[in-house]
Structure 1
């Protein structure tokens, strides 16, 4: 009997260890948000309320590929550690639940209750007409009186019918003090439509913006309008995602700076400004109800290959949460984005062994580390190479003659799953100085590079067989610090 029990114990242990090995998630990041399982894309409904930062997101709970959209939900006290919650919004007779936003109704303008959380989202109803898919997109609302634990959909949905647009979605809502009304920014295909409301239930068309401005290589999506201060001057920022048509192919996010009078957004110029030059920062919008701060998070993938990346249990991560600020370069304003300070508490200064002047050891850091380099000389080429013994390599470089920064993932491990994936990601140099700082955030399968405090940023994902073992510089390494991620 004892021998039989011992055999069963060993056999059970073997099965458990074997199952663990099969389910090991080698690509899951350590400090970026991911769903526990299945598909995720755009961040939605980000709002701060009663001590919690809420993150909702486009979610398909039944597959690791895109499908009928729900709103997944997670909360955090510091925007770094996240607690997964139950699905917040499910499809209904009006359709699946596409992207949107959430606000705190402090003055009970909608009549659901003081300080109610109100989600504004797109109801996406799809039918087949003569064998072709036809979409009807309208705007709906739901409310929560228990800080997002449970949600009730408004019985009068949709609150904004479709005016005949094939793309009419992604409502982002803010309160505009001067006109004492809610302002909704909404994609209308190749432009952004603005609507106004006193009660979140009845909406009036205010204006359109976009034709002749910025990049138009694809559909405009996920707008976000907000006010910032620059040296006492009021500057309005309009963020617009674009798919396809990004500077390096597929999905990307652009922004416009200008004025907003409560009805019309007027851009300072027609220049195309990219929030991030990388291929893997899309649909980013900011949190509501965070005072004067402007905190943004994006979906860390690209519609060119998002359904094909080599993860199985889950697909997609979010970018780091980033602080937005304005900076002036040669008389023009630009938007900086840089990871929030909360991440710094998770990084510990490392003392890697130096093999030679140009190489530092990162073995054992599990591809979760941060590198900060001061005063990178822009009068000559510069290159950082992350590598391992399998000859998997990821590079970041500055090319002086062509005056660009670049991330090259064409020599990383798994690249054959999509023809658009293995390419060099190029970013124009906007720096007007002879030297700049560079910060690199690495997390398992992603690299986020911030040049000059995020004036230029590049976000890219990659999939290696093994973790990196060293970082090699084309120049003698000095003014460089490496921080190991710890939790």
Structure 2
């Protein structure tokens, strides 16, 4: 009898161990699936879109919490633009180094019913407790699409809290002046000098022309219209605005930068959607522009970007690597759609140019260099075995650089004409059935006739960086191959060299 009891007890213990082991393995698998690393992702040191069945698009906010960054971005479920159907919500990822990301996906800024979608917005810290939710509480604002209307709703997170709460009894805190008008993408900052919140929002006027509206609030809930910004150039639909105060790096002069996306290209020589900025002054909710619109990034795939104020002189930014002209035509064979750019550090020069000082890779390319001498009027080729690598070269006069996948499913060619300061980019992918992706794209270059250029390449992206001038151009690249053939065609009468470093 005693032996039977012992045997039964051992059986229970063994069963418990087995169940614990299974549970531990499941937990480990789930954790690994959410703790994305640069080895697992097709964009090796970038944040990838969360959804494999839909796409990710607009960035929302970067928050700094100790040594960690919290990244909020929009996830589209892929259901399409159908009325009265839940489609978009916020997602959240965490990173300490801006090159590896843990997908938490626990953002509480989300739809409450199947009849609404939560879209783009922002988060601001209430340092003086103007809202009454507590000193240093966080206030989130986002557009909800409900029955053809675009309204602004609010959430709050207390200083010691872990869960976001719906504010204002679930009622909208801001609406357009007329039902059914465009009124979206609220970005809210705290103006410490005026002790009030300032909101920028993309909205339509009586003639359905898009503009950036300015609103102020003393409590974060009640908003008063103060001003509007119209682009002096017709850039099509204006979206995703945000404003930051920054000091020029060289002379410490305080300026305000208004950022916005332009989802059209009416008179823009770039012929592509993109992120723009205007430098000016903000006083009591009214914005006076000093410059015309300029590109933040000169490529085709840097949109709906967000910037974090690291200090008085420096912004940390990243953007959605997508383009509405062709993102919906990308084949489902591409697992992640609408990924994100590498993080970059930016500053404002004394002549009011926003420049990139660094593309953040955190030493991923401190590897053995493959250096190839490319003689005048000759071609050289380098093959890479990994999907992620860096190319460095000096562009003199005329050169062509072509990056082609080994299996031939995609190629991107860059034709540099440094005498005329022009770059022409041409792309082809078997996974994009849209002419807008394939057409030539032209960029006006800065700097001297001879310039250092770095290419940061992985499976889904190419970011071209001119470190001496601070110019950057971002391009989506769609391929299912790991490794590329790089062809350098030196059309100049001067020898050059090509340096390739694969990722660790």
The CA distance in 2 between the partners of 1:395 and 1:220, in whole Å, is 30
Q: Within 5 Å, give how 1:329-478 maps onto structure 2.
A: 332-341=351-360, 343-352=361-370, 354=372, 357=375, 358-359=379-380, 361-366=382-387, 368-374=388-394, 376-377=395-396, 380-387=397-404, 393-400=411-418, 402-409=420-427, 412-414=428-430, 416-431=432-447, 433-453=448-468, 455-464=470-479, 466=481, 467-474=483-490, 478=496
Compared CA separation, residues 435 and 337, structure 1 to 2 (3 A): same
Q: Which secondary structure does the structure 2 equivalent of 1:315 belong to?
A: coil
Larger radius of gyration: 2
**Aligned-pair CA distance for 1:473:** 4.2
2:33 corresponding residue in structure 1: none
**Aligned-pair CA distance for 1:201:** 1.2
Q: 2:184 aligns with which of 165, 169, 179?
A: 169
Q: Which secondary structure does the structure 2 equivalent of 1:196 belong to?
A: strand
Q: Structure 1 segments of 4 or more deviating over 6 A?
A: 64-67
Is 1:187 paired with 2:199?
A: no
Aligned residues: 440
Is 1:256 paired with 2:269?
A: no
Compared CA separation, residues 282 and 148, structure 1 to 2 (3 A): farther
- Contact in 1 for aligned 2:310/2:316 (Cα 8 Å): no
- Contact in 2 for aligned 1:386/1:472 (Cα 8 Å): no
Q: TM-score scaled by structure 2?
A: 0.79
**Aligned-pair CA distance for 1:344:** 3.2
Is 1:154 paired with 2:167?
A: yes
2:336 corresponding residue in structure 1: 314
2:9 corresponding residue in structure 1: none
Q: TM-score scaled by structure 1?
A: 0.82
Q: Within 5 Å, give how 1:6-405 maps onto structure 2.
A: 28-38=42-52, 39-61=55-77, 68-88=87-107, 89-92=109-112, 95-126=116-147, 135-145=148-158, 149-156=162-169, 157-164=171-178, 166-189=181-204, 190-211=210-231, 213-214=232-233, 216-230=234-248, 231-245=251-265, 247-269=269-291, 271-287=292-308, 292-312=313-333, 313-328=335-350, 332-341=351-360, 343-352=361-370, 354=372, 357=375, 358-359=379-380, 361-366=382-387, 368-374=388-394, 376-377=395-396, 380-387=397-404, 393-400=411-418, 402-405=420-423
Q: Which secondary structure does the structure 1 equivalent of 2:436 belong to?
A: coil
1:232-275 per-residue CA deviation (whole Å, 9 max, x = no partner) reads 21121111101122644442111111222232211113x33111
The CA distance in 2 between the partners of 1:327 and 1:142, in whole Å, is 36
- Contact in 1 for aligned 2:416/2:422 (Cα 8 Å): yes
Compared CA separation, residues 294 and 146, structure 1 to 2 (3 A): same
Compared CA separation, residues 43 and 403, structure 1 to 2 (3 A): same
Compared CA separation, residues 122 and 327, structure 1 to 2 (3 A): same
Compared CA separation, residues 454 and 417, structure 1 to 2 (3 A): farther
* RMSD over equivalenced CA pairs, Å: 2.9
Compared CA separation, residues 305 and 404, structure 1 to 2 (3 A): same
- Contact in 2 for aligned 1:223/1:285 (Cα 8 Å): no
- Contact in 2 for aligned 1:223/1:238 (Cα 8 Å): yes
The CA distance in 2 between the partners of 1:465 and 1:54, in whole Å, is 29
1:54-96 per-residue CA deviation (whole Å, 9 max, x = no partner) reads 1111113466999711111111112221111134222136831
- Contact in 2 for aligned 1:280/1:302 (Cα 8 Å): yes
- Contact in 2 for aligned 1:65/1:315 (Cα 8 Å): no
- Contact in 1 for aligned 2:214/2:225 (Cα 8 Å): yes
1:78-119 per-residue CA deviation (whole Å, 9 max, x = no partner) reads 222111113422213683111011122233221222322221
- Contact in 2 for aligned 1:353/1:361 (Cα 8 Å): no
**Aligned-pair CA distance for 1:226:** 0.8
- Contact in 2 for aligned 1:300/1:318 (Cα 8 Å): yes
**Aligned-pair CA distance for 1:462:** 2.2
- Contact in 2 for aligned 1:218/1:243 (Cα 8 Å): yes
**Aligned-pair CA distance for 1:40:** 0.7
The CA distance in 2 between the partners of 1:334 and 1:280, in whole Å, is 20
- Contact in 2 for aligned 1:27/1:311 (Cα 8 Å): no
- Contact in 2 for aligned 1:46/1:287 (Cα 8 Å): yes
Q: Which secondary structure does the structure 1 equivalent of 2:339 belong to?
A: coil
Comparing 465-474 and 444-453, the one that deviates more: 465-474
**Aligned-pair CA distance for 1:348:** 2.1
Q: Which runs of 5+ in 1 are unaligned?
A: 1-24, 127-134
**Aligned-pair CA distance for 1:335:** 0.9
1:20 corresponding residue in structure 2: none
Q: Which runs of 5+ in 2 are unaligned?
A: 1-38, 205-209
1:300-356 per-residue CA deviation (whole Å, 9 max, x = no partner) reads 01001112213454321011111111235xxx4211135444x13222233337486
- Contact in 1 for aligned 2:262/2:275 (Cα 8 Å): yes
2:25 corresponding residue in structure 1: none
